[in-house]
């Protein structure tokens, strides 16, 4: 049964809450902020208790003080003054510091409870959706029952609790037989089941394989971290899928509407069934204010806004909706006005003649339980706005007011032909496959500014397509909806407002001129929030910090050798060694041997930098230590190193030394091979080779200083030398350098490979294109140099 229709006689609707004590949940949310502002500005005699949880070390009262500084309260603050704001904080407003799941004792003198708290996502993991929407409602109603009072509860739901259906949806209790308690328990169990599945060996092996493919060269800890991140993401995605699929199998659009429907049933069973007064308000899609607190007020993007801005950015070339489907939007101030009008007009308590006659004259009758009342706040019935009109408004506004693409051009907006959801989804999948193919090609090309810019475009495109796919999945049912929300009760409530009531307290949706609302209120409001962020850099990938280096003595500049300071690698260094001081007759055989082993070296390099170094340095086996040292000191080898030293590396090293910074050169190869440029640095750190009787065995004396081993060394070295890593600098070229570069406050990727470039772009690191023209080091910079990994050894 549902409460009778409100009277439509003007003056029959009570417009004031008087001196009511109101409990408000969700007061920090979009609708909750607007409710609180209305209570403060229009119902000055009310007392408001807010349920607020502490957040990020800020107590609930601190959050409330911060809340009252937001734009929604600006006109109220200006009108009443700072003293009245402070008085409201100390006398009118009370805070219960808690979340819905663990409520303390609530006041027993509550007159009205407005429950507007809920998850703000349509597609959260199933357990989170149930815990917030269902568990939160259960916790609230159980706490109210413990308090012993009899407040009128206004339960804010959503018009879409009717599920996937066509035709008119009445303002009445839902008709379904789903056991919401069993579904809540199953949702909680889902996380345990999915977590267990994510830890199965075959699943973990897949995560490890993904981690190795992406971060194998960075080191085992990076692989482990990536694997665990993949596992956590898999769990979240599975739980989202659990929620979406379970909702559809029960007849709802998504887990949000499913859990909101179950929350209504909890309110009916835990509150109304005990004889308490319950009103349920079901708004449709809530967007920016039409009139109050000012036209266009909104707190962040809401339901329709991601679609609107995706269109404005040119990312929505087609639309999966039906052109004659109604986009049921209602301004937030209309929703708030309905909520407060409902709060002031609770369902009546009927007292039957039989019940009254049975009560002794010495005591009063116990009223029978009132029927719950339901109100839809929607526009589709009385003032429909089809999706085709929405497109026409979008196209007109963003053609006249396009978003900037960069400093000189704007983004053209597409024209929709409404080909149907299957074609739209097929086009998205094709574009995703094409983009993935481009990314695979680019990661195998030499890294330069052109390929990095292309890779950045691919990454941006991938994110855009993923967002588009998500929007299509999420909004499919809403933009193809054929449901009409009956709103006779809400219209009758509005008609009963006292004559002469201010326009901004009404909620007649037929007053809304949709073209005027979107063109002059809503679109300008949400565009203003994004316009400052819509300009993309013209040269993504050329991110360089050009500020002068600050003079400091407690920081270090760490330079990788191969590919960063030298335009060479350990293979070329080996050839320089072999070509100086050795018999020319042996040269062809050496080259042939090197070419034969090249495929194996490349495979090792792709897997693990340390494995490659160990494998390649075996070629030094049998070389006398004295001969290697002589070659390094010889003019031929030294000249080759100096010719391959990058001029911009030399300039940067000099800048650091002039600023008083420590300079360290690090190589995964033999430290001795850096001898010709060692005097440029305060310290050279590299590997040493094992020797027997003055002859190299081809084995390293300790593991090579690469990837995570270099990061561990740097951490310890900085601690021992009292170096501030957060203010220090690093220069590397390979994905293997990621582990130690991320320890530093000022990392730079120098001529980076594709994987390091991708990470540098994502993290907004400096990317430096140092010309590969040959430099010349003709003189040392002075100062002493120490060499770890030398000390009489090679």
* Residue range 395-408, pLDDT digits in tens: 999 999 998 887 88
Whether 571 and 479 share a structural domain: no
Phi, psi of 152 (to 5 degrees): -80, 120
Work out the end-to-end distance of the chain between its first and last CA atoms, rounded to an integer number of angstroms: 91
What is the overall mean pLDDT for the chain? 86
**531 and 418 share a domain?**
yes
Percent of the chain that is helix, strand, coil (3-state, to 5) = 50, 15, 35
User: 668 and 684: one domain?
Assistant: yes
Whole-angstrom distance, CA of residue 51 vs CA of residue 28: 9
Specify the 3-state DSSP secondary structure of 704: coil
For 58-130, list the strands marked E by DSSP: 93-97, 112-115
The secondary element (H helix, E strand) that includes residue 569 is none
Percent of the chain with pLDDT over 90: 51
DSSP line for 611-671: HHHHHHHGGGTT-BHHHHHHHHHSHHHHHHHHHTB-HHHHHHHHHHHHTT-EEEEEEEEEG
Do 272 and 312 belong to one domain?
no
The count of domains in the chain is 3
The tokens of 748 are what? 């730079």
401-434 per-position pLDDT tens digit: 998 887 889 989 989 888 877 888 788 888 888 8
My answer on whether 459 and 347 are in the same domain is no
Whether residue 33 is contained in a domain is answered as yes
Question: What angle separates helix 332-344 from helix 30-42, to the nearest 10 degrees?
Answer: 60
Over residues 664-694, the pLDDT tens digits come to: 999 988 888 889 999 999 999 988 888 899 8
CB 463, CB 436: distance < 8 Å: no
CATH of the domain at 776: 3.40.50.1000
- Give yes or no: residues 42 and 166 share one domain: yes
E runs forming strands in 549-660: 556-560
At residue 263, does pLDDT exceed 90? yes
Asked if residue 683 and residue 640 are part of one domain, the reply reads yes
Instruction: Classify residue 380 by burial, with Cβ atoms within 10 Å: 0-12, 13-18, 19+.
Output: buried
Residue 614 lies in a domain: yes
What CATH number should be reported for the domain holding residue 128? 3.40.50.720
The alpha carbon of residue 569 and the mean position of all alpha carbons in its chain are separated, in whole angstroms, by: 39
Q: Are residues 99 and 32 in the same domain?
A: yes
Residue 11 has pLDDT above 70, yes or no: no
Give me 184's structure tokens.
Answer: 């809540």
pTM: 0.79
310 lies in some domain: yes
Do 589 and 459 lie in a common domain?
no
Among 674, 670, 616, 610, residue whose Cα is nearest residue 640: 674
Q: Which two tokens stand for residue 507?
A: 């909620």
Q: Dump pLDDT digits (tens) for 500-534.
A: 888 889 999 999 999 999 999 999 999 988 764 44
Q: Which residue has the tokens 């993991």?
A: 125
For 438, the domain range is: 300-324+383-483+512-542
Q: How would residue 443 be classed by pLDDT, with cut points 50, 70 and 90?
A: confident
Kindly compute the dihedral angle of the four CA atoms of residues 76, 79, 80, 86, in this order, to the nearest 10 degrees. Answer: 50
Q: What is the pLDDT of residue 183?
A: 96
Residue 134 lies in a domain: yes
CA distance 306 to 192: 32
Name the residue with higher pLDDT: 154 or 710. 154
CB 790 within 8 A of CB 684: yes
Angle, helix 523-530 to helix 305-312, in steps of 10 degrees: 70
Confirm whether 423 is domain-assigned: yes
Q: Is a pLDDT exceeding 90 seen at residue 138?
A: yes
Judgement on whether residues 588 and 641 belong to the same structural domain of the protein: yes
Do both 580 and 634 map to the same domain? yes
Q: Which of 42-51, 439-448, 681-690 has the lowest mean pLDDT?
A: 439-448
- The values of phi and psi at residue 331, to 5°, are -65, 150
**40 within domain boundaries:** yes
The reply to whether 295 falls in a domain is no
**467 lies in the same domain as 451:** yes
User: Would 133 be classed as within a structural domain?
Assistant: yes
């Amino acid at each position: 049964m549902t409460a009778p229709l409100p009277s439509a006689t003007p003056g029959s609707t009570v417009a004031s809450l008087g001196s009511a004590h109101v409990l408000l949940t969700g007061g920090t949310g979009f609708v909750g902020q607007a409710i609180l502002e209305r209570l403060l500005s229009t119902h000055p005699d009310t007392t408001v208790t807010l349920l607020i949880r502490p957040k990020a070390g800020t107590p609930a009262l601190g959050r409330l003080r911060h809340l009252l500084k937001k734009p929604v309260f600006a006109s109220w603050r200006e009108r009443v003054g700072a003293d009245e704001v402070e008085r409201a904080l100390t006398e009118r407003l009370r805070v219960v510091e808690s979340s819905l799941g663990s409520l303390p004792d609530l006041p027993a003198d509550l007159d009205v409870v407005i429950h507007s708290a809920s998850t703000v996502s349509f597609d959260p993991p199933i357990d989170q959706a149930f815990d917030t929407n269902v568990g939160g409602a259960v916790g609230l109603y159980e706490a109210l029952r413990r308090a012993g009072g009899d407040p009128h509860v206004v339960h804010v739901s959503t018009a879409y609790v009717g599920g996937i259906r066509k035709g008119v949806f009445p303002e009445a209790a839902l008709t379904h037989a789903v056991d919401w308690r069993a579904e809540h328990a199953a949702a909680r169990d889902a996380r345990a089941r999915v977590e267990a599945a994510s830890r199965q060996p075959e699943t973990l092996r897949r995560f490890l394989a993904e981690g190795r493919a992406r971060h194998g060269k960075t080191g085992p800890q990076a692989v482990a971290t990536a694997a665990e991140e993949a596992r956590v993401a898999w769990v979240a995605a599975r739980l989202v899928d659990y929620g979406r699929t379970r909702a559809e199998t029960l007849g709802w659009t998504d887990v949000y509407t499913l859990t909101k429907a179950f929350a209504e049933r909890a309110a009916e069973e835990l509150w109304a069934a005990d004889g308490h007064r319950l009103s349920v308000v079901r708004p449709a899609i809530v967007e920016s204010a039409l009139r109050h607190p000012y036209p266009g007020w909104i707190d962040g993007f809401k339901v329709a806004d991601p679609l609107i801005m995706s269109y404005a950015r040119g990312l929505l070339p087609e639309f999966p909706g039906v052109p004659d489907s109604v986009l049921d939007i209602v301004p937030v101030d209309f929703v708030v006005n309905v909520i407060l009008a409902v709060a002031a007009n609770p369902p009546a308590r009927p007292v039957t003649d039989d019940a009254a006659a049975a009560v002794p004259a010495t005591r009063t009758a116990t009223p029978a339980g009132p029927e719950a009342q339901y109100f839809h706040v929607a526009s589709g019935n009385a003032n429909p706005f089809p999706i085709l009109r929405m497109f026409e408004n979008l196209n007109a506004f963003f053609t006249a007011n396009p978003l900037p693409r960069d400093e000189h051009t704007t983004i053209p907006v597409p024209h929709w032909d409404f080909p149907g959801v299957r074609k739209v989804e097929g086009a998205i999948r094709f574009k995703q496959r094409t983009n993935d193919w481009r990314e695979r090609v680019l990661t195998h090309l030499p890294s330069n500014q052109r390929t990095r810019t292309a890779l950045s475009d691919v990454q941006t495109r991938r994110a855009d397509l993923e967002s588009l796919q998500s929007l299509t999945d999420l909004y499919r049912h809403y933009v193809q909806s054929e449901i009409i929300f009956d709103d006779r009760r809400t219209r009758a409530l509005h008609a009963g407002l006292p004559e002469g009531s201010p326009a901004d307290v009404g909620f007649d949706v037929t007053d809304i001129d949709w073209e005027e609302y979107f063109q002059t209120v809503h679109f300008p409001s949400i565009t203003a929030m994004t316009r400052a962020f819509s300009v993309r850099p013209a040269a993504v990938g050329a991110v360089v910090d050009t500020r002068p280096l600050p003079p400091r003595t407690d920081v270090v500049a760490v330079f990788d050798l191969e590919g960063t300071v030298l335009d060479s690698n350990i293979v070329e260094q080996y050839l320089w060694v072999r070509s100086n001081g050795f018999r020319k007759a042996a040269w062809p055989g050496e080259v042939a041997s090197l070419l034969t082993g090249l495929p194996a070296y490349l495979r090792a390099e792709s897997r693990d930098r340390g494995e490659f170094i160990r494998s390649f340095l075996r070629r030094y086996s049998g070389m006398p230590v004295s001969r290697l040292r002589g070659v390094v000191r010889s003019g031929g080898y030294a000249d080759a190193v100096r010719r391959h030293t990058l001029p911009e590396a030399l300039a940067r090293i000099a800048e650091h030394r002039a600023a008083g910074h420590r300079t360290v050169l690090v190589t995964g190869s033999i430290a001795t091979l850096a001898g010709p440029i060692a005097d440029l640095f305060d310290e050279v750190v590299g590997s040493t080779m094992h020797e027997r009787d003055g002859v190299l065995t081809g084995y390293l004396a300790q593991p090579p200083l690469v990837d995570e081993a270099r990061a561990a060394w740097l951490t310890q070295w900085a601690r021992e030398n009292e170096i501030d890593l957060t203010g220090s600098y690093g220069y590397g070229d390979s994905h293997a350098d990621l582990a130690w570069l991320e320890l530093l406050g000022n990392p730079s990727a120098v001529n980076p490979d594709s994987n390091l470039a991708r990470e540098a772009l994502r993290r907004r690191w400096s990317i430096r294109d140092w010309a590969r023209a040959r430099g010349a080091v003709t003189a040392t910079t002075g100062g002493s140099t120490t060499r770890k990994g030398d000390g009489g050894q090679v």
